Structure 1
Amino acid sequence: MKKPDLLYLSDMPGGPEAGTLLVTLNSLPAHGGKDIVFTEGRLRVNIFAQRYQNTIYVYENRCPHAGTPLNMFGDRFMNIEKNHLLCRTHGALFDPETGKCTGGPCKGHYLRQVAVEIRNGAIYSL
């Protein structure tokens, strides 16, 4: 399966406009994950940021298999070994650097990476 194009949040119904502050780097918890939700009326855009090996990755918080969020509670997205993103619904494992599913029901599919810019200690939407 081909890796999907970058996701521009401003193109999504209910998504924030380009240049919106998503999260500051110092507000990421020690485990590095942060669930970020935007709502506008009944519209909802759910993304997450994850620090992995000193790099920040931002993905749509939606499993390509079931459409459910990866996290079932809080800001935890990594497996116990802290080497893969984990979909808690069906146990799918994703490479944190590429978003590619390496194990589980959506093997070979990808999470959608969000177009962001990191500057001045914060992550902004593009």
Structure 2
Amino acid sequence: MDDDRHVASLDDVPTDGTLLVTLRNGDGLEEVILTRLDDGVAAYKNYCQHWTDVRLDKGSGALVRNDEIVCQKHAATFESGSGYCNFGPCEGSYLATVDVEVDDGEVFVSEDGYTFEHVGESDDESRSSGSRIGFGG
């Protein structure tokens, strides 16, 4: 695998949380969360399916409980292995995936069009806070 596709060591991906990374694609930067599975790693775009401007991992790891990723805004729960929402306002939907693979204890992005940028938030100032309150002047 190419160096620009290397994301992290498998040991860096927590078994009870997520690792937030930023990838680059044709549209710019995109935050992705990695979660450890018994047989590898799953990667999902860092947003809830109910409101896509609500981040699951705000920089310190998403809440993971009973092998489910929890949206702290809506309490929706997503199965870590499939991304399937089994409870909440977006029940029946799936988290958007990004293909990754593990090779010799290292995690690589394998989806075409993506390269690794850095661990952590995208630092994109245009991201919404997730608030639905509008202020006008």
In the superposition, the TM-score normalised over structure 1's length comes to 0.71
For residue 70 of structure 1, report the CA deviation from its aligned partner. Answer: 1.0
For residue 48 of structure 1, report the CA deviation from its aligned partner. Answer: 0.8
How far apart, CA to CA, are the structure 1 residues paired with 2:80 and 2:36? 9
**Residue matched to 2:32:** 47
Q: CA RMSD in A?
A: 2.6
For residue 122 of structure 1, report the CA deviation from its aligned partner. Answer: 1.1
Q: Identity over aligned residues, as a percent?
A: 24
Partner of residue 12 from structure 2, selected from 27, 45, 55: 27
Partner of residue 62 from structure 1, selected from 43, 47, 64: 47
For residue 32 of structure 1, report the CA deviation from its aligned partner. Answer: 4.6
Structure-2 change in CA distance of 1:45 and 1:108 (3 Å): same
How far apart, CA to CA, are the structure 2 residues paired with 1:34 and 1:92? 19
How far apart, CA to CA, are the structure 2 residues paired with 1:89 and 1:37? 22
Runs of 4+ in structure 1 off by over 6 angstroms are none
How far apart, CA to CA, are the structure 2 residues paired with 1:125 and 1:18? 10
**Residue matched to 2:21:** 36
Partner of residue 92 from structure 1, selected from 76, 80, 99: 76
For residue 92 of structure 1, report the CA deviation from its aligned partner. Answer: 0.5
Partner of residue 99 from structure 2, selected from 115, 118, 126: 115
**Residue segments in structure 1 that go unaligned for 5+ positions in a row:** 1-16
Structure-2 change in CA distance of 1:72 and 1:88 (3 Å): farther
How far apart, CA to CA, are the structure 1 residues paired with 2:45 and 2:10? 18
Partner of residue 78 from structure 1, selected from 58, 64, 67: 64
In the superposition, the TM-score normalised over structure 2's length comes to 0.66
Structure-2 change in CA distance of 1:32 and 1:88 (3 Å): closer
| Corresponding residue pairs, total | 107
How far apart, CA to CA, are the structure 1 residues paired with 2:10 and 2:57? 20
For residue 86 of structure 1, report the CA deviation from its aligned partner. Answer: 0.5
How far apart, CA to CA, are the structure 2 residues paired with 1:101 and 1:90? 12
